[in-house]
Chain A
Amino acid sequence: MSRQLPDGAELGGRLRQHDLSAAPAVLNVLESRAPEARERADTLLAALSPAALGHEAPGHVVGVTGPPGVGKSSLLSRLGAEWRARGRTVAMLAVDPTSKRSGGALLGDRARIDVDPTDPGVFIRSTAAGDRVGGLARATRAAAAALSVAFDIVVIETVGVGQSETDVADVADSVAVVVQPASGDVLQFLKAGIMEIPDVLVVTKSDLGRVAERAVVDLQASLRALGAPETPVVAVSSASPPSGIADLAGALEAHRSGLDLPGRRLKARRMHALADFAAEHGERGVRALGGRRAAERWLEEQDPALDVPALLRALERKAAR
């Protein structure tokens, strides 16, 4: 038996009072697969649901995704400092790939995100991606929902291109896709519709000068061609001296303020419940719902006040019918 986990309602209460030191214990509960922890997780999420809070969680959930090696971690170091300078508290959920064979993972992203370890206003947690390649572990979805009650900004950092921004888009209020100059794949993926159009596009390594400028212009052109000319493309440099970081923080904030937040969050909760259902019951379970699209349509008809555990139970009842 594991040591006594903290009570879900108590942890929920601490987050509601913006007690950031509750974050590690919250994650421990949400990551646990033990049956008693699952009950606690449900209690915790219920205590933090919009119905319980009386409003949507106030934090801004930001998805940051992109191919490996484009400089996401350096970017997050700079962005984290920018947010802290603006007085925001920041939680970062770094999702690392898992070793297929052993099930273990080397969680190395944390090392590359440079923050003051003694600053209680920053929390970083690394999570292994889990079994679904590129997908988000269920704990990450739940953690984003829970931590956005206490932290001003919750970042979900994932690696990949193609599926990863879709997964993140299901959870985040705003999605930033990070690319580096002279990498054609993202442009191709955008044009081919393999990749959804993100809320903000970030071009790193702008200190490279003309190649970076060229990348910005190319991306803007494709966005116009795709009918999304208003999507901001921000050039940043994380190398000293950094540049564009304040612009990016501004672009994310602008996106968030122009957003139908309740609508996006409602959709996120429904997708969250469906992902949890699929993780629990697999392909066979999803077929019992009449397939993924049918399940999504059915979820759209449910009571908007239902929290994720309640939606999950509703899906399970429907599948059993």
Chain B
Amino acid sequence: MRTYAGHSDARRSNELYRRNLEKGQTGLSIAFDLPTQTGYDPDHELARGEVGKVGVSIAHRGDMHTLLEGIPLDQMNTSMTINATAAWLLGLYVVTADEHGVADEGLQGTTQNDILKEYLSRGTYAFPPGPSMRLIADTIAYTVEHIPKWNPINICSYHLQEAGATPVQEIAYTMSNAIAVLDAVRERVDQALMGSVFGRISFFVNAGVRFVEEHAKLRAMAAIWDELGRERYAVQDDKHRRFRYGVQVNSLGLTEMQPENNVYRIALEALAVTLGRGTRARAIQLPAWNEALGLPRPWDQQWSLRLQQILAYETDLLEYPDVFEGSKVMEGLVTELADGARAEMARVAELGGAVEAVEYMKAALVESQRERWRRIEAREQIVVGMNKFTSTEPSPLTADADGGILVVDPEVEADQRAAVERWRAERDQAAVDEALEELARAARDDSQNIMPATIAAARAGATTGEWSHTLREVFGEYRAPTGVGEAAAVPSQDVAELRDEVERVSDGLGRRLKFLVGKPGLDGHSNGAEQIAVRARDAGMDVVYEGIRLSPSQIAASAAQEGVHVVGLSILSGSHRELVPAVLEALSAAGAGDVPVVLGGIIPEADAEALREAGVAAVYTPKDWDLNRMMRDIVALVAERHGIDVAAPA
């Protein structure tokens, strides 16, 4: 199988960056692994299988130093995809720049630093919403004064659409998020700076295949943003009120079936963000056509790039002023979306703002996603090649597809574990203890900015896990709402047969069929697990769903104590090779080794085969989009394991 060495550790990433810079690249884009994103050191139990996987592992200033060695930071524009621990990584960056002799005011770059979408969709949060919002406000207040060329936050609506948001919800929740951030900053900076703060805020949006409506969505966002600037924050300078956004087009709508069709979808989605000059994206990332199948090959990536180049250089798209100017249809759509969004924003405001309304918004998104999925299953919403026009000639494009996924040399994790232990042993422990105490003091005192103590702790040699642990002690642990409890039931006729079957098997079992849906590891992409949990409930099962970030021992303890009949695991981070065997082992140790386990996620067939051999009863991938069929399979599996007659397939 083709493997791809991820960024893994600081040294390897540094080599990659330097190669790219030699080729003429001018900026750095740093992706961090999940332990770094969620504030755990490489040797923490939850980091198992995740170290160096979706990005680089940065545990202390030594790692940051290695990562940036030989790179001219005064000339770099550095973008960091980091949220819950953004203040810490910014601190490490500042300390490293200082070691390189580059002063704060010379630094340029972006920290994503948007926590709300982590609760609602992406899952790499560390602290409760209130304190997290304070950390964001602190980094903004700090950078506006000390690192004026830094973009301290990039508010993401992208992940909301992936979580199921309708256009109205996407606009409303993103803008409510921005309000929460700005309101928090307003209390922490000089009022004269609010214009610059407003102007520093940028967005990261999504674009779906209904491209006319999606374009209207962007125009509505720009209008509301301008309105907020003028009315709520009295921002005078027009330039400060410009709606600045980057875009990645929709992944949610790409299909594993007939994947070549995705090329058309991506092209149409790209139109949504380029059609109107006034609301054109500043940066566009297009996914590869075969993203749903595995990691894109260099040729696949080239094909995506060519699409962008054709749009820019062959078409006349960029030659005209705003082509929708004066369009009645577009104006009507924009008004409709903006009005809907304002009403929804008012609802969020009534609940006390975006921070207080996390639970409400999460439940609303789960509900939208459930409805979207129901429409697809009922073929009210057509997805070509998936629920309609499904017959296909054999594809020459996918014949040699190898389903490659990102695999990191297991040595990386072992090395990083050993390295962080060495680091702790060799540093000045007293200085670290003192710095962390000071950090805790600053955290407890809401009137202080967290950045100076964070930078001091970075300099003293504290680790990512220690910084986060100190703040977790002060702010408390947090489990985001799952949103599933409030989701409306699917119409009874859609699941009537399924319910009968669940009842019949439950009677045979003596008690209601009980299903544990678990998300092991640090992967926070919970949309799939949530939809499975809701559908299983609607099918009449008792469903135990505890949300994301569970250790294998937590899943095993729950399965054993709850007396479940079947366990379903959802893993999208590519860590199934490590995590699934760990869960199977933990189940045996907990005395629940006979409970069948099914797995869902992006699992290459070779891995699926190996996992089935290791004892997994069934493996589901994105091509298994028919949830009712999956439920019937699971019920049949339980029936078979308990010697209950399996009903004839419907």
A-side residues, CB < 8 A to B, are: 1-3, 5, 21, 23-25, 27-28, 31-34, 37, 99, 101-108, 110-112, 114, 117-118, 123-126, 128, 239-240
Contact = CB atoms under 8 A, between A and B. Distances in A.
24 contacts: A1-B643, A2-B508, A2-B510, A24-B560, A24-B561, A31-B563, A32-B511, A34-B509, A99-B538, A102-B489, A102-B540, A103-B540, A104-B536, A104-B541, A105-B542, A107-B544, A107-B545, A107-B562, A110-B546, A110-B562, A111-B479, A111-B546, A117-B554, A126-B542
Contacts of B546: 108, 110-111
A102 B501 CA distance: 12
B427 interface: no
Interface string B503-539: 1000111111000000000000000000001101111
The 5 closest A-B CB pairs, nearest first, are A34-B510, A32-B510, A111-B546, A117-B557, A240-B476
A40 to B, nearest CB: 10
A128 B545 CA distance: 13
B474 interface: yes
Contact of A240 (B473, B492, B558): B473
A105 B551 contact: no
Nearest to B503: A103
A265 B604 CA distance: 58
B475 interface: yes
Given A117-B557, A240-B473, A105 B543 contact: yes
A102 B474 contact: no
A111 B642 contact: no
Given A110-B544, A111-B546, A240-B476, A102 B499 contact: yes
Contacts of A103: 499, 503, 512, 540
Interface residues of B, number: 49
A252 B557 CA distance: 28
Given A34-B509, A114-B477, A126-B544, 9 more contacts: A1-B508, A21-B591, A31-B510, A33-B511, A99-B537, A106-B533, A107-B543, A124-B558, A125-B563
Interface of B: 473-477, 479, 482, 484-485, 489, 492, 495, 499, 502-503, 507-512, 533-534, 536-547, 551, 553-554, 556-558, 560-563, 591, 642-644
Contacts of A37: 510
Nearest to A29: B510
**Most chain B CB atoms below 10 A, which of A31, A32, A104, A108:** A104
A1 B551 contact: no
A111 B545 contact: yes
B479 A104 contact: no
Contacts of A27: 563
Nearest to B589: A118
Contacts of B508: 1-2
Nearest to B594: A3
A28 B507 CA distance: 14
Contact of A102 (B482, B533, B538, B591): B538
B595 to A, nearest CB: 11
A5 B475 CA distance: 45
A33 to B, nearest CB: 6
Contacts of A112: 479
A110 B547 CA distance: 10
Contacts of A108: 482, 484-485, 545-546
A32 B511 CA distance: 5
B439 to A, nearest CB: 15
**Most chain A CB atoms below 10 A, which of B477, B485, B539, B591:** B485
Given A2-B508, A111-B546, A111-B547, A102 B534 contact: no
Nearest to B591: A21
Contacts of B556: 117
A118 B555 CA distance: 11
